[in-house]
Structure 1
Amino acid sequence: MRFPPHGECADLLAEQMAAMGVEVTVSTEPPTARSPYTADPFTCPHGVSYWIEPTAAQLTRWAAEDLP
């Protein structure tokens, strides 16, 4: 398996979520407030932890569609 350069990990995670139809923010900092969407961080192959959270725009779309 080929891993991306470390500098591309956050973008790759966001792109993979976008491919599933979910707009997210990806950060190395944990969220300041937990939400029902807060999950354990994802650790990239380089050992860095990333928190993946839906954006405010994504939450608005879900609310308008009566989803999660």
Structure 2
Amino acid sequence: MNNVTVYTTNTCPYCTMVKNFLDDKNISYKEVNVEKSPEKMMEIMQKTGQMGVPQTEVNGQWVVGFDPNSIMAAMR
């Protein structure tokens, strides 16, 4: 079972693309909206050094932006 968390904001089109991609592949994920939980943004900034969203954590590996190939690679 893959452990997938997508960090998003309300206005991010790439966040929607990541979620649609995961839905299309029937991959379950947890969504964390960093606008509702700003402390989570601080946590992922410390982990990845990146401020932008989406950031997707797949089994402990981080994928920044909309990058389906990297998301799938992290699942192997």
- Structure with bigger strand share is 2
Shared fold (TM-score greater than 0.5)?
no
- Structure with bigger helix share is 2
TM-score (norm 2): 0.28
Q: Which has the higher contact order (CA 8 A, sep 6+)?
A: 2
TM-score (norm 1): 0.31
